[in-house]
Amino acid sequence: FFNLTLCRELGLLQRRNQSSSVPKKTVGSNQIFSYLIVIDFESTCWREKNNYNQEIIEFPAVLLNTRTGEIDSEFHNYVQPQEHPVLSEFCTELTGITQIQVEAGIPLHICLSQFNRWLQTLQHTMGVVFPNEQRNTSAPSATENMCTFLTWSDWDLGVCLQYECKRKQLHKPDVLNSWIDLRSTYRLFYSRKPKGLNGALQDLGIQFSGREHSGLDDSRNTARLAARMMSDGCVMRITRSLQSVSVRPTVTEGFLLKL
């Protein structure tokens, strides 16, 4: 109740315009973000002991163009787990990811640096910019396209990557400190609690395409769901921000420093 009220007060969500019967030509002409990067990690897991030092084994990201609803670019890597290098049978069954695939994968710190390079390429070739990112100019120019991250639930960026980077003392890219949780956005926008990502798609008459619990297929299907929600009138807004250490002091920090 508190979150719902808070979200409404902060204007984090906008109800769909049910009175509008005019079909929209584009998916999201009224969106804040020109692009959304959809991420869905797969991690080590066990039938019984879950949530215990899970490590990322698949790192996919798809760039969703909010104007067209199309995926314009993709990043994908299998990642070698190091704390528990041997996948459980349960994990392979759930995700379809094999021991051979993770052994041919790369360690997380290499994957993160390749991911950073992919983001830089998007910045240079497509003018992608992230909110709160340090830039030379303060106001976004006409060639800049605002972008943020989107995941199904807060688990991927708020739990999985966050804790693995902490444990391994890896530098997490600062841009991954805020994102849109599509699950809570869906709940508030349609006023119903979906049964997983697949259930959320089914409720809208969309069939899940590919293999469930494959990180890349999950990411693509999450992107399809987000595109559908935007064409239904949902304006995507950041729902979660983690505290990041800022190089540039904020007004409050500057004030505290003076004290």
For Mg ion, the closer CB: 7 or 94: 94
Residue 218 in the binding site for ligand AMP (CB under 6 A): yes
Of the candidate residues 34, 65, 95, 184, the single one contacting ligand AMP (CB under 6 A): 95
**CA contacts within 13 A on the Cβ side of 196:** 7
Q: How far is the CB of 83 from ligand AMP (least distance, A)?
A: 14
Of the candidate residues 33, 36, 40, 81, the single one contacting Mg ion (CB under 5 A): 40
Cβ-proximal residue to ligand AMP, closest one: 45
For Mg ion, the closer CB: 16 or 76: 76
Q: Looking only at residues 152 through 171 of this chain, which bind Mg ion when binding is defined by CB under 5 A? A: none
Q: Which two tokens stand for residue 223?
A: 């992107």
Residue 181 in the binding site for Mg ion (CB under 5 A): no
Residue 218 in the binding site for Mg ion (CB under 5 A): yes
Q: How far is the CB of 55 from ligand AMP (least distance, A)?
A: 9
For Mg ion, the closer CB: 74 or 144: 74
Amino acid at 208: F
For the annotated catalytic residues, the residue numbers are 42, 213
Of the candidate residues 12, 39, 40, 175, the single one contacting ligand AMP (CB under 6 A): 40
Binding site for ligand AMP (CB under 6 A): 40, 42-43, 45, 50, 54, 94-95, 213, 218
